[in-house]
């Protein structure tokens, strides 16, 4: 009997095998492939038949695993077509390092069924009303946006909805945008539900991943809290998906297999015919447009929990209160911060730049320290005394001589969080201070540091955008934004939307327990529209204006963008091939083709980069047409193509 088998590799079709054992669609099997053996899945259709006659290889064995259901197979087929990636690579996302995991012993799953004492959470009248709205049509596919002010108790509301799903015997997936959020979120989950969820992200050990993968397949695990890749796990009976902080651009996988986990989660919910909730304080522009079209249902929580006030905002005029030499904190800002510290408030200085200084050069030879692999500056990290590339990871020391054989005289231009940390320690030596960034908070010690922040044992934080993402710090009542003038600039068409989301989320970290809270903006521009947008408590006012602007200019979400990035270590060859590809595309697809242009970051990891941008109407026909063109197009050796459907950055 002939059987179609999909292998987790770069092929876009199943391979045909013979089988003497009884297998059905979705069965996990072992097959010979080349000189080795591979795990594959019995797929839903055959490869295109070759005119040549091949001797078919036989399936070796069927694995003792619950078969992959038809809904998930259909989802993976759709995922492949939408994102223009081979079906085999879609399957690779589902399997664990190319393997399917058979059942472990029951004792290995006990940790996920251990009972703890639960806290008693009472919903407010507003939360009860929203919960009722969430439960409308939640026995089938529907997308519901839960939008609410930071600190309004959105999490507890959807926890209540999850509770009913679990009681009815379903499994639930909760997607979070950052690994750093999982510790705090896990504790909140355990307090509410009284049992352990499974945590899934790149930091989880291989053995625990195997236990979770198999436990979900046989129904031993009820809830997974995870990053993007958790979307592809083998649920036995999934009943709901939650995408928390749905606006967050971290849901976009921008290396390897490129996809947006939020959009793909909506698609998987559709194929599984289950409800999905998108949760945020500031919706993405795409989500808001779908709400306006009545494609998604919608609930709002305006009031903060226990009627806590929103932070007020103050602008500190840097033309009036000038910055001192080698200082990034104005005298007026220092007065405000001292006042908050004296009454026991926690203070956050916000600067969205890691390291000590983003720009280092020598006064003698004027040599700028740039990455040897990428066309960007190296960032100086003083804590480790290294110059670091934030794209390729290249690092080097400072010890070097000028061209004239003199010792380099370094200038560290512009501040990073480490430079602000030094200034704050000098100005406030009697207070505990901590840098809160991905360099400091993605370590094993971060759980203990979070506890100290929550207990106000650390009084001053210097944070990057990581701190804006869902953390609850009860004593944080003062935020100082140091770089609003710089962060509001940029060439990205989404920069205004991203800034609104970032600073709205950031503002929401303050005053969550009812104490008065203030966000201070240091700025040279007293007419700054970004600040005016942030001080508007209703972010939908901005989104309404932004949608109109996008519609006038035929920008997403009213048009589909597909970015094609060509890379090569040969700049001239890249230029020729980019032009050749554009000509081919113009002859074969009906869409606007912009470019090719050098990417804003022209060189990454020693590869030169050119970009083409395809603009078309919003339907899947463009992907199908483009896929056919690219399958028939032969790239010369040394040229690599990356396809990014619905790009959110244009680096």
Express each pLDDT in 563-595 by its tens digit: 999 999 999 999 999 999 999 999 999 999 998
**Contact in structure between 602 and 609 (CB atoms under 8 Å):** yes
Express each pLDDT in 130-176 by its tens digit. Answer: 999 999 999 999 999 999 888 788 999 999 999 999 999 999 999 99
Query: How many CB atoms within 10 Å of residue 359?
Result: 16
Pairing of strands 238-244, 171-175: parallel
Selection from 537, 534, 579, 606 nearest residue 151 by Cα: 537
C-alpha 145/C-alpha 290 separation (Å) is 10
Cβ neighbors of 445 (< 8 A, separation 6 or more) are none
pLDDT at 469 over 80: no
C-alpha 143/C-alpha 149 separation (Å) is 20
No. of H helices and E strands in the chain?
17, 29
Q: At what angle do helices 70-83 and 621-632 cross, to 10 degrees?
A: 70
Q: Given this model, what pLDDT does residue 209 score?
A: 96
Selection from 81, 74, 80, 82 nearest residue 45 by Cα: 74
In 201-237, beta strands by DSSP E: 223-226
Q: What is the mean pLDDT of residues 222-229?
A: 94
Token representation of residue 579: 């032009």
Selection from 274, 235, 244, 288 nearest residue 262 by Cα: 244
Handedness of CA 252, 100, 84, 625 (dihedral sign): negative
C-alpha 480/C-alpha 467 separation (Å) is 13
pLDDT band at 84 (very low <50, low <70, confident <90, very high): very high
**Contact in structure between 572 and 612 (CB atoms under 8 Å):** no
Percent of all residues in the chain with a pLDDT value above 70, rounded to a whole number: 94
Q: Given this model, what pLDDT does residue 370 score?
A: 86
Name the strand (E) or helix (H) holding 433.
strand 433-436
Token representation of residue 194: 């009284």
Residue by residue, DSSP assigns 85-137 as --HHHHHHHHSBTTB------GGGGGGGT---PPP-----HHHHHHHHHHTTT
C-alpha 371/C-alpha 374 separation (Å) is 5
pLDDT at 257 over 90: yes
Q: Given this model, what pLDDT does residue 246 score?
A: 95
Q: Given this model, what pLDDT does residue 467 score?
A: 79
pLDDT at 129 over 90: yes
Taking CA atoms, 65 is separated from 88, 104, 286, 564, in Å, by 20, 11, 38, 39
Express each pLDDT in 382-421 by its tens digit. Answer: 888 888 998 888 888 877 677 666 777 777 777 888 889 9
pLDDT at 6 over 90: yes
Q: Given this model, what pLDDT does residue 506 score?
A: 79
Q: Given this model, what pLDDT does residue 347 score?
A: 92
Token representation of residue 23: 């297998």
Question: Using a CB cutoff of 8 Å and minimum separation of 24, what contacts does 92-98 make?
Answer: 92/8, 92/9, 92/257, 93/229, 93/232, 93/257, 94/8, 94/68, 94/232, 94/233, 94/234, 95/8, 95/39, 96/209, 96/210, 96/213, 97/206, 98/8, 98/38, 98/39
What average pLDDT is seen over the chain? 88
Which stretches of 9-83 are DSSP H helices?
A: 70-83
**Contact in structure between 631 and 80 (CB atoms under 8 Å):** no
The more confident residue out of 173 and 281 is 173
pLDDT at 100 over 90: yes
C-alpha 393/C-alpha 378 separation (Å) is 10
C-alpha 566/C-alpha 596 separation (Å) is 9
pLDDT at 95 over 70: yes
C-alpha 541/C-alpha 524 separation (Å) is 25
Token representation of residue 353: 């730049």
Pairing of strands 386-388, 592-604: unpaired
405 by Cβ neighbours in 10 Å (0-12 / 13-18 / 19+) ranks as exposed
Radius of gyration of the chain (CA): 27
pLDDT at 597 over 90: yes
Q: Given this model, what pLDDT does residue 86 score?
A: 95
Q: What is the mean pLDDT of residues 597-602?
A: 91
User: SS3 letters for 475-526?
Assistant: CEEEEEECCHHHHCCCCCCCHHHHHHHHHHHHHCCCCCCCCCCEEEEEECCC
Q: Given this model, what pLDDT does residue 528 score?
A: 62
Q: How many CA atoms lie within 13 A of 12 on its CB side?
A: 13
Q: Given this model, what pLDDT does residue 444 score?
A: 63
Q: Given this model, what pLDDT does residue 442 score?
A: 67
C-alpha 143/C-alpha 272 separation (Å) is 13
Q: Given this model, what pLDDT does residue 411 score?
A: 79
Residue with tokens 């909730």: 277
pLDDT band at 431 (very low <50, low <70, confident <90, very high): very high
Residue by residue, DSSP assigns 178-190 as -GGGHHHHHHHHH
pLDDT at 612 over 70: yes
Domains and CATH numbers, the chain: 2-69+78-93 (3.40.1440.60), 106-306 (3.40.50.300), 307-545 (3.40.50.300), 560-645 (3.30.70.600)
pLDDT band at 116 (very low <50, low <70, confident <90, very high): confident
The answer to whether the peptide bond before residue 552 is cis (omega within 30 degrees of 0) is: no
Q: Given this model, what pLDDT does residue 110 score?
A: 92
43 by Cβ neighbours in 10 Å (0-12 / 13-18 / 19+) ranks as buried
In Å, the largest CA–CA distance within the chain is 84
pLDDT at 527 over 70: no
Name the strand (E) or helix (H) holding 30.
strand 28-33
Q: Given this model, what pLDDT does residue 167 score?
A: 94
Express each pLDDT in 303-357 by its tens digit. Answer: 876 666 778 888 888 888 888 888 889 989 999 999 999 999 999 998 888 888 8
**Contact in structure between 308 and 513 (CB atoms under 8 Å):** yes
pLDDT band at 185 (very low <50, low <70, confident <90, very high): confident
pLDDT at 50 over 60: no
End-to-end CA distance of the chain: 50
The more confident residue out of 493 and 608 is 608
């Amino acid at each position: 009997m002939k059987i179609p088998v999909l292998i987790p590799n770069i092929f876009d079709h199943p391979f045909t095998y013979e089988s003497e054992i009884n297998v059905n669609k979705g069965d996990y099997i072992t097959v010979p492939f080349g000189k080795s053996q591979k795990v594959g899945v019995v797929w839903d259709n055959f490869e295109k038949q070759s005119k040549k006659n091949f001797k078919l290889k036989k399936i070796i064995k069927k694995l003792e695993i619950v078969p992959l259901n038809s809904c998930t197979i259909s989802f993976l087929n759709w995922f492949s077509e939408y994102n223009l990636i081979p079906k085999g690579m879609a399957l690779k996302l589902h399997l664990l390092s190319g393997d399917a995991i058979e059942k472990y012993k029951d004792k290995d799953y006990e940790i996920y069924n251990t009972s703890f004492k639960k806290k008693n959470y009472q919903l407010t009248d507003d939360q009860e009303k929203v919960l009722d709205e969430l439960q409308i049509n939640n026995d089938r596919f529907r997308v519901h946006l839960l939008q609410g002010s930071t600190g309004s108790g959105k999490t507890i509301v959807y926890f209540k909805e999850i509770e009913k799903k679990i009681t009815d015997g379903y499994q639930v997936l909760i997607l979070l945008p950052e690994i750093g959020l999982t510790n705090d979120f896990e504790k909140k989950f355990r307090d509410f539900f009284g049992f352990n969820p499974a945590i899934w992200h790149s930091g989880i050990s291989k053995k625990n991943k195997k236990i979770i993968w198999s436990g979900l397949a046989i129904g031993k695990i009820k809830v997974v809290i995870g990053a993007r890749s958790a979307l592809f796990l083998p649920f036995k009976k999934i009943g709901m998906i939650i995408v928390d902080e749905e606006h967050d651009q971290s849901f976009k996988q921008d290396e390897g297999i490129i996809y947006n986990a939020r959009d793909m989660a909506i698609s998987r919910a559709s194929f599984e015919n289950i409800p999905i909730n998108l949760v945020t304080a500031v919706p993405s522009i795409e989500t808001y447009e779908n709400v306006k079209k009545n494609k998604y249902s919608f609930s709002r929580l305006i009031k903060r929990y226990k009627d806590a006030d929103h932070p007020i905002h103050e602008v500190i005029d840097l033309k009036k209160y000038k910055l001192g030499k080698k200082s990034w904190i104005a005298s007026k800002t220092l007065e405000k911060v001292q006042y908050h510290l004296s009454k026991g408030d926690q203070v956050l200085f916000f600067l969205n730049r890691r390291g000590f200084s983003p720009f280092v050069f020598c006064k003698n030879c004027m040599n700028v320290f740039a990455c040897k692999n990428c066309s960007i500056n190296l960032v100086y990290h003083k804590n480790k005394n290294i110059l670091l590339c934030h794209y390729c990871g290249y690092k080097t020391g400072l010890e070097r001589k000028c061209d004239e054989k003199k010792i380099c005289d370094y200038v560290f231009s512009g501040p990073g969080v480490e430079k602000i940390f030094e200034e704050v320690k000098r100005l406030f030596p009697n207070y505990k201070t901590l840098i809160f960034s991905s360099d400091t908070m993605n370590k094993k010690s971060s759980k203990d540091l979070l506890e100290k922040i929550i207990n106000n044992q650390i009084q001053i934080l210097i944070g990057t955008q990581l701190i804006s993402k869902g953390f609850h710090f009860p004593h944080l009542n003062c935020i100082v934004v140091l770089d609003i003038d710089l962060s509001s600039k940029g060439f990205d068409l989404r920069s205004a939307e991203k800034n609104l989301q970032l600073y709205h989320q950031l503002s929401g970290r303050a005053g969550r327990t009812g104490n008065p809270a203030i966000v201070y903006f240091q700025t040279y521009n007293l007419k700054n529209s970004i600040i005016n947008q942030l001080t508007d408590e209703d972010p939908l006012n901005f989104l309404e204006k932004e949608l109109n602007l996008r519609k006038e200019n035929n920008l997403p979400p009213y048009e589909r963008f597909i970015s094609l990035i060509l890379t090569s270590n040969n700049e001239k060859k890249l230029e020729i091939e980019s032009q050749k590809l554009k000509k081919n595309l113009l002859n074969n697809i009906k869409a606007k083709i912009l470019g090719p242009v050098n990417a804003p970051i022209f060189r990454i990891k020693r590869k030169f980069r050119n970009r083409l941008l395809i603009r078309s109407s919003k339907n899947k026909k463009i992907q199908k047409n483009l896929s056919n063109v690219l399958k028939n197009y032969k790239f010369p050796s040394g040229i690599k193509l990356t396809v990014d459907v619905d790009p959110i950055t244009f680096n």
